[in-house]
Amino acid sequence: MDVKPHEDHIYIEALLKNDSKVLSTLYATFSPKIVAYIKNNSGDADAAQDVIQETLVTIYHQAKEKNFILTCPFDAYFFLLCKRRWLNELKKRGNNRVTIIDDVTSISEEQEQQVEETEIFEKQHQLFELKFKELGEKCQELLKATFKIKSMEEVADFLGVTYGYARKKKSQCMGKLTQLVKNSNEFNQLKAY
């Protein structure tokens, strides 16, 4: 099935290429609405900028790692992601008495689906990062090297070990990381999605 990108996919490409001109347009076009929403809902401009930045980083990682294709307008997709991130932040802070001022925007099923995919991706990414930190220092060093360097021969040279040892150790470390992820409560919650 071929997925046809929306014309706003240019913003995803700009994130991947770090195209400052298009990214400036993105900020100028979409940030004011998000800043206004957060200010109207117990936040300030700094909190809004943090939410915008964190959301863009998540979209960037999803585009880079999963070849994410935007198939709906960026405005609704981005706003909904930022809005949900802010509401989660308010929940964490325990702001139970917050009045949410919501301009009811019609959200298509496609936009909702893309937002959910991004949120699931972010949760998976956070779980991976969390469990990666539980690995031993040597495993972390080896796996980080294999993420950056594609050739196992180069990884072995970089770490000063034999090729056979590097391959075997990588397999063991990946197995341990996989078990840490699969044995976590968060993993079982993500499977429910």
Query: pTM of the predicted model, to two decimals?
Result: 0.61
State pLDDT tens for residues 132-185.
888 889 888 888 888 788 788 888 888 888 988 888 988 898 888 888 888 887
Nearest alpha carbon to residue 102 among 169, 33, 170, 51? 33
How many angstroms separate the CA atoms of 62 and 43, rounded?
A: 27
